[in-house]
């Protein structure tokens, strides 16, 4: 195990009763990077993050987080990581300040009063510090949560779908903050469903059915998928989509905004398919496959959709 | 048309409600569990005219007449003599500890005095700390004993049958001579109030964290389960202390309940009792999935506690099986302790049994709570 790795886990397995949520995941993540954690709902992202930060005990597998054993040293790990849960989990019946103060006390921060003031100032919530946290809007709740989990200056930040249900501007601000923290030396692992967020990550880990299906930089993953994608634009695409779906050789047919993407492993087959359905009001061009194309293809390859909706 | 559509929507809501009811197993169980418990307890266990109350016979002589009287008390169904002794210390100790409700004393020379027509005394000392428990048996005592002697005093002794009765029955109501009910109820209420509020508040406080999802956040931060548990329970220990203070002051100022014993001994008992109840509440919170369920569990615990502990109905008047169940509740032991200390000046040595029982209860429940709590983390 290298000392440069913030996360170094191998063969993580987590079973809940008979159900296997995570099935043999390896992650070796260097310090100082921002990694994206992707995969459909129920693919095991949250469970993996919880095992990494010592909240859940792995059924099998071993590893270290920040050099501490995930089985034995959960407390050391908790002291040095910040974990932001998927659902807002601060106390809605406490004020913003009371929440921040409570966190500062739990981490036994020195000069906690000053640190709380600083944190509120940086957040821009000094004026509203006596409002109940429950009264904040979704975007502000996420910002407050991020401030609370980074107040003790963790070395590793684990964010579980931090921008779900947040408006685009707030999402962008949130990501600017993540990159800012990364520049300060924090290692960040963030799970997300948004492709534009995934593209802002140094590297991506893709989970499906509890297993790691792919890992790499965005271009690497796209290249490795071996996909060819054609993009159809124009009035007639809606009509075409139904007919193209399910044709042999077309891995997937999906909308991207108003355009239609048709992807597959073989350019000739796709070209002949779209030639069959040629229409005067649709214009086709070969484009570079997007990350989403690659993921949809990977999902199809991984076989049946075993996701569990919770 | 409109009626039919409306009815169909009513049915839709009705079906949805049935589905949700079936999913919430605990609520479903409580809907049937609580009535059944109530039926059994009120129907079988509770007896407002308690019979077969334990008594000690302090007989300084052992003549056929004395034996006849003892048998008569036994067969009357009101008294159950669990000890016959000639040592007054032994019998009064039993009375102080609440293990017997009566001590029937027959002095030496009783038989001789009876035969000579001197109307010797029979003394019944009753534990009147619970006036309702002892009144029935005391009321019957004279006729039970007279009846027995009527069969015995025949032949040349037949003249003794004439009234007044051949002996002088003296009843001494101890610990609460005037038989004031509030002397019994108010100290007991301390236990009841502590049970109800503390079990419920702790049960809900922990469940709330889980219900709102804040538990995960708490555990992701460097706080150990034991730290969370102690920190969460501490404010309620304070609540318990404040309640105790209020009730004790009210007992004195409003109801004039005497305080015969040691305050420190009472406080020791209250402390153990409060912790026992918090531990129960904490355990409920590890079982309940919602605050609603925590409430239901509290009620399910509180109801038999109230009915079987001896707070509302005399403990010794219940059938044996109900007494066995009653022994499992900390309130039962706390009532013995609080009534013992306040009304009887019972000593520490005499209260070891209830203190020990409450401690044991706490230890078992806390172990369960911690084991369950660890499991809920995963």
B317-339 per-position pLDDT tens digit: 888 899 999 999 999 999 999 98
Q: pLDDT-based confidence at B378, cuts 50/70/90?
A: low
Residue among A79, A89, A92 minimizing CB distance to B222: A79
**Which residues of B lie closer than 8 Å to A, measured between beta carbons?**
212-217, 219-224, 377-378
Shared domain check, B327 and B240: yes
Residue B14 within a domain: no
* Secondary-structure class of domain A222-301 per CATH: alpha beta
Torsional sign, CA B200, B205, B206, B211? positive
Angle of the B25-40 helix axis to the B2-23 helix axis, nearest 10: 80
pLDDT at B144 over 90: no
- Please give the residue of chain A at the shortest CA–CA distance from B231: A106
Rounded CA separation B331/B334 (Å)? 5
Distance from CA of B224 to the nearest CA of A (A): 8
Asked if A43 and A19 touch (Cβ cutoff 8 Å), the reply is no
DSSP string for A134-153: GGS-HHHHHHHHHHHHHTT-
Q: Do B133 and B253 belong together in one domain?
A: no
Residues B122, B202 share a domain: no
The answer on B274 and B221 residing in a single domain is yes
User: Do residues B158 and B185 both lie within one domain?
Assistant: no
φ, ψ for residue A212 (rounded to 5)? Answer: -80, 120
Percent of chain B with pLDDT over 70: 96
Cβ-defined contact of B213 to A106 (cutoff 8 Å): no
Does the distance separating the beta carbons of B221 and A90 come in below 8 Å?
no
The hierarchical CATH code for the domain A5-216 is 3.40.50.300
Q: What is the pLDDT of residue A309?
A: 41
**Which pLDDT belongs to residue B46?**
79
More confident residue, B198 or A165: B198
Domain boundaries, chain A: 5-216, 222-301
Give the C-alpha separation, B37 to B58, whole Å: 40
Query: How far are the Cα atoms of A51, A61, A247, B263, B293 from residue A75, in angstroms, in the given order?
Result: 13, 19, 54, 43, 32
Q: Is residue B68 part of a domain?
A: yes
- Domain at B68, CATH number: 3.40.1710.10
- Estimate the crossing angle of helix A112-123 against helix A96-106, to 10 degrees: 130
Q: For the segment A200-231, what is each residue's pLDDT rounded down to a tens digit? A: 999 999 998 899 988 999 999 988 888 889 99
| Residue B298 to chain A, least CA–CA distance (Å) | 24
Task: For residue B214, give the chain A residue with the closest CA.
Answer: A89
Q: Are residues B153 and B214 in the same domain?
A: no
CB contact under 8 A, B212 and A55: no
Of the residues B151, B174, B197, which one is the last residue of a structural domain? B174
Residue B234 in this model has a pLDDT that exceeds 80:
yes
Please report whether residue B48 resides in a domain: no
Q: Which of these, A50, A78, A83, lies nearest to A66 by C-alpha position?
A: A78
Count of the separate structural domains present in chain B: 2
CA–CA gap between residue A26 and residue A7 (Å, rounded): 10
CB pairs under 8 A between A and B: 38
Asked if residue B368 belongs to a domain, the reply is yes
* Residues B213, A90: C-beta atoms closer than 8 Å: no
Same domain, B77 and B202: no
B216 and A107 within 8 Å at the Cβ level: the answer is no
Q: Are residues B125 and B256 in the same domain?
A: no
The alpha carbon of residue B1 and the mean position of all alpha carbons in its chain are separated, in whole angstroms, by 61
Residue B322 is part of which domain span?
A: 181-377
pLDDT tens by residue, B47-98: 777 888 889 999 988 888 888 888 888 888 888 888 888 888 988 888 888 8
Any B CB within 8 A of A217 CB: no
Distance of alpha carbon A50 from alpha carbon A29, whole angstroms: 16
Contact A55 B214 (CB under 8 A): no
**Residues B122, B214 within the same domain:** no
**Strand duo A68-69 + A60-65: pairing:** antiparallel
pLDDT single digits (tens) B104-124: 999 988 888 888 888 889 999
Residue B34 lies in a domain: no
Q: Are A36 and A198 in contact (CB under 8 A)?
A: yes
Rounded to a whole number of angstroms, the distance from the CA of A21 to the nearest CA of chain B is: 13
Residue B31 lies in a domain: no
Q: Give the gap in angstroms from C-alpha A78 to the nearest C-alpha of chain B.
A: 5
B29, part of any domain: no
User: How many Å lie between the alpha carbon of B208 and the closest alpha carbon of chain A?
Assistant: 11
**And the tokens for B152?**
């015995």
Q: Does A256 touch chain B (CB under 8 A)?
A: no
Burial pattern B217-241, b for ≥16 Cβ within 10 A else e, equals bbbbbbbeeeebbeebbeebeebbe
Q: Does residue B25 register a pLDDT over 70? A: yes
Report pLDDT for A279.
74
Both B284 and B196 in a single domain? yes
Distances (CA, A) of B343 to A309, B18, B259, B266, B314: 62, 52, 6, 12, 16
- Which residue ranges in chain A fall short of pLDDT 50? 1, 304-310
**Partner-chain contact B214 A90, CB within 8 Å:** yes
CB contact under 8 A, B222 and A106: yes
Q: Are residues B288 and B326 in the same domain?
A: yes
Rounded distance between C-alpha atoms, residue B180 and residue B131, angstroms: 7
Asked if B360 and B246 sit in the same domain, the reply is: yes
Residues A270, A277 contacting (CB under 8 angstroms): no
Which domain-ending residue is among B174, B208, B229? Answer: B174
| pLDDT > 90? residue B276 | yes
What is the ipTM, given to two decimal places? 0.79
Q: Is residue B58 in a domain?
A: yes
- In the listed set B150, B174, B198, which residue is the last one of a domain according to the structure? B174
pLDDT of residue A215: 92
What does pTM read for this prediction? 0.76
């Amino acid at each position: 195990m290298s000392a440069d790795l913030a996360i170094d886990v191998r063969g993580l397995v987590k079973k809940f009763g008979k159900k296997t949520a995570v099935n043999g995941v390896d992650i070796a993540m260097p310090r100082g990077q921002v990694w994206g954690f992707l995969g459909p709902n129920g693919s095991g992202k949250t469970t993996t993050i919880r095992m990494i930060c010592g909240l859940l005990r792995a059924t099998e597998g071993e590893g270290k987080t920040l050099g501490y054993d995930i089985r034995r040293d959960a407390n050391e790990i908790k002291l040095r990581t910040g974990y932001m849960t998927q659902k807002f989990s601060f106390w809605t019946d406490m004020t913003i300040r009371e929440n921040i103060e409570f966190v500062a006390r739990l981490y036994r921060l020195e000069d906690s009063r000053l640190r709380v003031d600083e944190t509120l100032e940086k957040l821009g919530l000094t004026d509203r510090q006596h409002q109940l946290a429950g009264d904040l809007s979704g975007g502000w709740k996420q910002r407050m949560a991020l401030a609370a989990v980074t107040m003790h200056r963790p070395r590793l930040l684990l964010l579980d779908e931090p921008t779900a249900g947040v408006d685009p501007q707030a999402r962008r601000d949130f990501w600017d903050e993540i990159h800012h923290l990364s520049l300060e030396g924090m290692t960040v692992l963030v799970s997300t469903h948004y492709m534009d967020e995934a593209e802002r990550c140094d590297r991506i880990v893709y989970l499906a059915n509890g297993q790691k299906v792919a890992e790499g930089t965005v271009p690497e993953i796209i290249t490795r998928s071996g996909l060819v994608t054609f993009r159809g634009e124009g009035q007639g695409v809606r009509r075409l989509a139904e007919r193209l779906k399910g044709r042999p050789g077309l891995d997937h047919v999906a909308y991207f905004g108003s355009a239609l993407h048709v992807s597959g492993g073989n350019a000739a087959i796709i070209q002949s398919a779209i030639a069959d359905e040629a229409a005067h009001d649709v214009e086709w061009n070969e484009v570079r496959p997007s990350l989403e194309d690659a993921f949809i293809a990977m999902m199809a390859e991984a076989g049946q959709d075993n996701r569990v909706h919770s | 048309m409109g009626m039919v559509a409306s009815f169909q929507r009513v049915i839709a809501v009705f079906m949805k409600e049935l589905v949700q009811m079936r999913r919430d197993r605990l609520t479903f169980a409580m809907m049937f569990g609580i009535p059944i418990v109530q039926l059994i307890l009120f129907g079988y266990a509770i007896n407002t005219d308690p019979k077969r109350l334990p008594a000690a016979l302090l007989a300084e002589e052992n003549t056929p007449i004395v034996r006849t009287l003892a048998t008569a008390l036994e067969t009357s169904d009101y008294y159950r003599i669990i000890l016959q002794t000639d040592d007054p210390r032994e019998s009064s100790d039993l009375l102080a500890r609440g293990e017997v409700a009566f001590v029937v004393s027959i002095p030496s020379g009783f038989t001789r005095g009876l035969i000579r027509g001197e109307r010797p005394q029979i003394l019944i000392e009753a534990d009147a700390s619970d006036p309702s428990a002892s009144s029935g048996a005391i009321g019957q005592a004279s006729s039970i004993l007279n009846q027995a002697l009527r069969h015995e005093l025949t032949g040349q002794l037949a003249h003794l049958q004439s009234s007044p009765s051949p002996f002088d029955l003296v009843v001494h109501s101890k610990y609460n001579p005037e038989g004031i009910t509030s002397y019994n109820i108010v100290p007991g209420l301390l236990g009841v109030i502590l049970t109800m509020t503390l079990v419920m508040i702790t049960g809900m406080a922990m469940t709330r964290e889980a219900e709102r999802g804040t538990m995960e956040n708490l555990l992701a931060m460097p706080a150990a389960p034991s730290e969370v548990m102690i920190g969460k329970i501490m404010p309620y220990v304070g609540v318990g202390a404040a309640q105790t203070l209020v009730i004790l002051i009210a007992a004195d100022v409003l109801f004039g309940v005497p305080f015969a014993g040691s305050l420190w001994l009472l406080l020791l008992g209250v402390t153990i009792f409060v912790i026992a109840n918090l531990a129960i509440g904490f355990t409920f919170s590890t079982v309940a999935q919602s605050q609603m369920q925590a409430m239901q569990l509290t009620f399910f615990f509180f109801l038999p506690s109230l009915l079987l502990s001896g707070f509302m109905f005399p403990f010794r008047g219940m059938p044996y099986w109900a007494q066995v169940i009653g022994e499992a509740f900390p309130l039962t032991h706390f009532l013995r302790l609080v009534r013992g200390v306040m009304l009887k000046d019972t000593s520490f040595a005499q209260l070891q049994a209830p203190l020990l029982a409450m401690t044991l209860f706490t230890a078992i429940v806390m172990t369960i709570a911690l084991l369950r709590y660890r499991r809920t983390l995963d």
